[in-house]
Amino acid sequence: MVETTRRREIEEAASSLFRERGYSGTSVRDIARALDIQGASLYAHVTSKQDVLWSIVERMATRFETSATAASAAVGSDPAAQLAALVRNHVLVVTDDIERASVFVHEWRALSSERRTEMARRRDAYERRFRTVIAAGTDAGVFAPVDPNVAAAYVLTALNGMVAWYRPGGRIGPEVLADSYADLSMRAVLAKGTVPGGPA
Amino acid sequence: MVETTRRREIEEAASSLFRERGYSGTSVRDIARALDIQGASLYAHVTSKQDVLWSIVERMATRFETSATAASAAVGSDPAAQLAALVRNHVLVVTDDIERASVFVHEWRALSSERRTEMARRRDAYERRFRTVIAAGTDAGVFAPVDPNVAAAYVLTALNGMVAWYRPGGRIGPEVLADSYADLSMRAVLAKGTVPGGPA
DNA sequence: CCTACCGATCGGTAGG
DNA sequence: CCTACCGATCGGTAGG
């Protein structure tokens, strides 16, 4: 599917509706109504409702992946700095596109089985970045002796939980939020008395 | 509606399906099939699909509320001990009924508007317990100077995030998990150099 | 708890 | 992008 303006508008309207009502709770006609066209007219631009979900989820997955890689590369190998960079980056991606991020977090289960399997793999690889860096910090003694799987799940679900409450333009901006979440996450895993490694 | 065995079985099957596919993604016939009866036969026991969702969500809400109150009362007024008790309690409620807990966390949005409003109010009151105790700790200087709203959201979404990955009978039991999550949460908010207040 | 059935809505196609 | 339409499925009711 070529990427047209209309196509982008459909994805945007769908993201908003999928966030509010879920994929199953949103009909093709709901999406069309948001764009003031007929339900059947959507199919001039997309091949299926499932494809719209896929492009939303896939786009966000790629964004999380590439920007995590960039954030990681920007800070050197210190586990504390690495974790802070991953957390800050994640918050910034979420706040930058809260609707697609929400769909990414909650609706990937509605993907058809092949795509769902691919996404499960990519999500797992993403979570592994957190596990690995936490394990490294724990081994180095700079982090408390936490179970890296539990700690990574804890931090990552806290980050993803943002999609449930964050609204753009609110009291707290993305940068402040990124710092707060990084502070909370660093403290959660740091050994007592350690000085937190700040963001890059 | 009287609480019969059959009624309980329906709620159980529905919890499992709602968790897997969401409320909108689950049909009345899906629930019936899980119980080896006809779709229409369900209506001998429930008045609507919506009522099944409500009883699941309401039951869990009450469980979270009453057991948080009990946990809070069991530990004295020290903010650190209070927060640890709230976290431990939450983890234990979630792990004790992971399927209903998952529906409670994710599907309350599918409630009809009146019930949804009530649940929003009760969820907010529950979150306020966390905010209040965090604010008290921050004021007392035992917690780091975090924004209580942000910190409470962080901790509570991490706790609720358990429904996405926890499976009963796994490597880590509920008690160990409750301790781990309490440790992570305490460290996240404690001021540097403070000795964590343990669970009750 | 069953059979038989209801109107409404679903995702999607045909053919312009 | 529209009208007209498809078969399938939806939540729920009637009447046993």
**Per-residue pLDDT, B2:** 63
Q: For residue B184, which residues of chain A lie inside 8 Å, CB to CB?
A: 146, 150-151, 154, 188-189
Statement: residue B199 has pLDDT above 90: no
Burial class (CB in 10 A: 0-12, 13-18, 19+), A186: buried
- Per the prediction, chain B carries an average pLDDT of 95
Residue A16 has pLDDT above 60, yes or no: yes
Domain boundaries, chain B: 48-189
Range A56-70 average pLDDT: 98
Whether pLDDT at A197 is above 60: no
Q: Is the CB of A44 under 7 A from strand D?
A: yes
The answer regarding whether domain B48-189 maps to CATH 2.70.98.40 reads no
pLDDT band (50, 70, 90) for residue A194: low
Q: Is residue B125 scored above 90 in pLDDT?
A: yes
Average model confidence (pLDDT) for chain A? Answer: 95
pLDDT on residue B192: 78
Q: From the Cβ of B30, is strand D under 7 Å away?
A: yes
d(CA A171, CA A66): 29
Smallest Cβ distance to A180: which of B150, B162, B185?
Answer: B150
pLDDT, greater one: B14 or B193: B14
- pLDDT confidence tier of residue A196, bands split at 50, 70 and 90: very low
Give the N- to C-terminal CA distance of chain B in Å, as an integer: 38
Across all strands, nucleotide nearest B27 (CA–C1')? D10
Question: Residues A31-44: what's their mean pLDDT?
Answer: 98
In chain A, the percentage of residues whose pLDDT exceeds 90 is: 94
| pLDDT average, residue stretch A181-187 | 98
| B198 pLDDT higher than 70 | no
Helix axes A113-140, A49-73, angle to 10 degrees: 20
Which pTM value belongs to this model? 0.94
- C5: residue with closest CA to C1': B40
Instruction: Using the structure, give the distance in angstroms from the CA atom of A41 to the C1' atom of C16, rounded to a whole number.
Output: 13
Distance CA A198, CA B156 (A): 24
Q: Which of A58, A51, A65, A52 is nearest to A12 (CA)?
A: A52
pLDDT higher than 70, residue B83: yes
For B6-60, write each residue's pLDDT tens digit: 999 999 999 999 999 999 999 999 999 999 999 999 999 999 999 999 999 999 9
Specify whether the CB–CB gap between A164 and B124 falls below 8 A.
Answer: no
Chain A residue numbers with beta carbons less than 8 Å from the beta carbon of B21 are 24, 109
Structure tokens at A173: 């901006």
CB-neighbour burial class of residue A76 (10 A; exposed 0-12, middle 13-18, buried 19+): exposed
For position B197, what pLDDT does the model report?
41
| Res A192: pLDDT | 79
Provide the token pair at A100: 């697609």
Find the radius of gyration of the CA atoms of chain B.
19
What does the pLDDT read at residue B1? 54
| CB neighbourhood size of B96 (10 A) | 13
For B44-47, which contacts have Cβ atoms below 8 Å and span 24 or more sequence positions?
Answer: B45/B1, B45/B4, B45/B6, B45/B7, B45/B10, B46/B1, B46/B7, B46/B10, B47/B1
Nearest partner of A186 among B57, B198, B29, B192, judged by Cα? B192
Q: What is the DSSP string of A82-144?
A: HHHHHHHHHHHHHHHTHHHHHHHHHHGGGS-HHHHHHHHHHHHHHHHHHHHHHHHHHHHTSB-
pLDDT at A105 (0 to 100): 98
The mean pLDDT of B88-100, rounded to a whole number, is 98
Average pLDDT score over residue span B56-83:
98
pLDDT tens profile A126-160: 999 999 999 999 999 999 999 999 999 999 999 99
Contact B146 A184 (CB under 8 A): yes
Asked if residue A95 has pLDDT above 80, the reply is yes
- pLDDT confidence bin for A200, thresholds 50/70/90: very low
Nucleotide minimizing C1' to CA distance for residue A9: D1
Does the pLDDT value for residue A195 go beyond 60?
no
Interval B145-184: pLDDT, tens: 999 999 999 999 999 999 999 999 999 999 999 999 999 9
Query: Can you give the C-alpha Rg of chain A in angstroms?
Result: 19
